Amino acid sequence: MRLRRKSVLALFPERRLFFMVVCLGGIMGFYLLSILPHQQAADQMEHQIDALKKQIDEQRLLAPIYNRFTQLMGEIQPAPTGGDLPFPARDLLSPEQVAGIEPLFRQLADQNQLRARRIGSDLNSMINETGELKLSLEMMGTFSNLRAFMLKLGELPYLTHVERIVIRRESGVQGLLMELDIWLARQS
């Protein structure tokens, strides 16, 4: 006894119907796998473009106010402080000074009764050619000592700006944990 194999074509009474189902399935698969995802991505981009256009329109409306504000701020000079806060002439760190910057900040922390836990420079800022060096400082001490440290930090001629200051009390630790991210001007 021989078993007869039934072909897939036997399921359909007519071959034309079978080929039509296969073709429609192929077209549907093509649509679902290629056209539909691209259509959804295009719709999402259109929404992003509309949001950006709205943001640009808002900026155009606010531009005169911003220009006037910056003009006013440019005309205002800081009042003399009577010698309390120094404003040193700006200078750039030489490569030799960059190499010795960590001991300098450790010494500055020690002078202000702060314990420097970590002083590290950001490698990305050292590699790129922006002319700035980012340092991350982590110190332990009291808030009044941090104030004295910040005043000494302001005396450094190569300090560009302080990006971040975080002060928090750690559990079981005497004093406060202080984290600072500062930017220093350097020769590139």
Per-residue pLDDT of the chain (188 residues; tens, 9 = 90+): 454 555 655 666 677 777 888 889 999 988 888 888 889 999 999 999 999 999 999 999 999 988 888 888 777 665 655 555 556 777 787 878 878 888 888 999 899 888 888 888 877 766 667 778 888 999 988 888 888 888 888 888 888 888 899 988 876 666 788 899 988 888 76
Residue type, position 83, single letter: G
Q: How far apart are CA 142 and CA 145, in angstroms?
A: 5
The structural domains of the chain, with segments of one domain joined by +, span: 14-75, 95-185
Q: What pLDDT is attached to residue 145?
A: 85
Q: How far apart are CA 66 and CA 74, in angstroms?
A: 12
Q: pLDDT (tens digit, 9 = 90+) per residue, 104-130?
A: 889 998 998 888 888 888 777 666 677
Q: What would be the CATH architecture of the domain defined by 95-185? A: 2-Layer Sandwich (3.30)
Q: What pLDDT is attached to residue 9?
A: 57
